[in-house]
Amino acid sequence: MTTEKRTDAGVRIFFTGVGGQGTLLATRLVGEAALIQGMNVTMSEIHGMAQRGGVVESSIVAGHIASPIIADGQADVLLAFEPLEAVRALVKCHAGTTAVVNTVPIVPFTVATGQGRYPDVQGVLETLQESLAKVVALDAVALAREAGNVRAANMVVVGAFAGLQVLPIEKPVWQESVRRLLPPKLHAVNERAFALGFDAGRAVA
């Protein structure tokens, strides 16, 4: 496994999504899991006006890195909860970046009012595949539905990231993180969503 070598220097994970998708909760889940695993971890998020239906970006830096935020070209991992936001975040990525991308679009309102055109999703995925080292593209909404609740799509993406094993975090640790952050009635559905994502990530890893 190449993971240990990578965490020696540290791993920078950039999260991007749309307000309401649970991007910040997903970020916390990864952060909490890294903490339980005993890693040095820092998260950064933006609250307030940026959250009103706009883009939500956050980041996790794990290992021996002090800076809490990710500069252009620095993300080792991109977790994108929406395809347009995935391609918008390319500026944070480099040629060696690994990405997990939910392929289900959320069309911004500017498109409805004729101020722009939503890019072809297949084209977006091709751009990502050509630019990045590894891309896990999945229909997180369908997998979440299969798990029992479409709102658990964020958990599918986190599961896929876990399956890639970029961070040396063991499976029970992920489960512990879910249990710490979510109320008991949501554990089962989120654990199922996580498992479905995990298998998808594992297949690519």
Partner 1 sequence: MHELLSPDKGGKRLLLGNEAIIRGALEANVRFVAAYPGTPSSEIIDGFARLGDEAGVEVEYSVNEKVSMESACAAAISGVRSLCSMKHVGLNVAADAFMTLAYVGVKAGMVIVTADDPSLHSSQNEQDNRYYAKMAHVPMLEPATPQEAKDMVLAAYEISEKFRIPCLLRTTTRVNHCRGVVELGDLPSSGSVQGEFQRDPFNLVVVPMVGRKLRLQLLEKEEGLRELSEASPFNRLEGSGPWGIVTSGVSALYVQDAVKELGIQDKVTVLTLGMTYPVPEGLIGRFLQSVDRVFVVEELEPYLEEGVRNTAQKLGLGLPIAGKGPQGIPQAFELDSLKVKKALGHFFGVPVEAPAPLSAPEDLPARPPNLCPGCPHRATFYSIKKIFGEEAVYPTDIGCYTLGLLPPLQMADFLICMGSSVSTAGGFARVLDRPVVAFIGDSTFFHSGMTGLVNAVTHNRNILLVILDNGTTAMTGHQPHPGVSLTPAGRMEPKVDVEQVVRGCGVQRVTVVNPLHVKKTQAALEKIREEMKEGGVSVLISRSPCPLFERRMLGTKQRVVFQVTDACDLCRDCLSQLGCPAFVWERDPAGGECVRINESLCNGCAVCAQLCDAVKPKKL
* Residue ranges binding partner 1 (CB under 8 A): 18-19, 28, 31-32, 35, 40-55, 65-74, 84-85, 87-97, 107-119, 127, 131-132
Q: Which is nearer to partner 1, 134 or 202 (CB)?
A: 134
What's the closest the beta carbon of residue 199 comes to partner 1, in angstroms?
A: 27
Question: In 3D, which of 32, 54, 49, 50 has the Cα closest to residue 41?
Answer: 32
Distance CA 48, CA 6 (A): 34
Distance CA 170, CA 165 (A): 9
Q: Which is nearer to partner 1, 44 or 202 (CB)?
A: 44
Q: Which is nearer to partner 1, 85 or 200 (CB)?
A: 85
Helix (H) or strand (E) holding 152: none
Q: Which is nearer to partner 1, 54 or 148 (CB)?
A: 54
Task: Using the CB atoms, write b or e for 126-149: b if 16+ within 10 Å.
Answer: ebbeeebeebbbbebbbbbbebeb
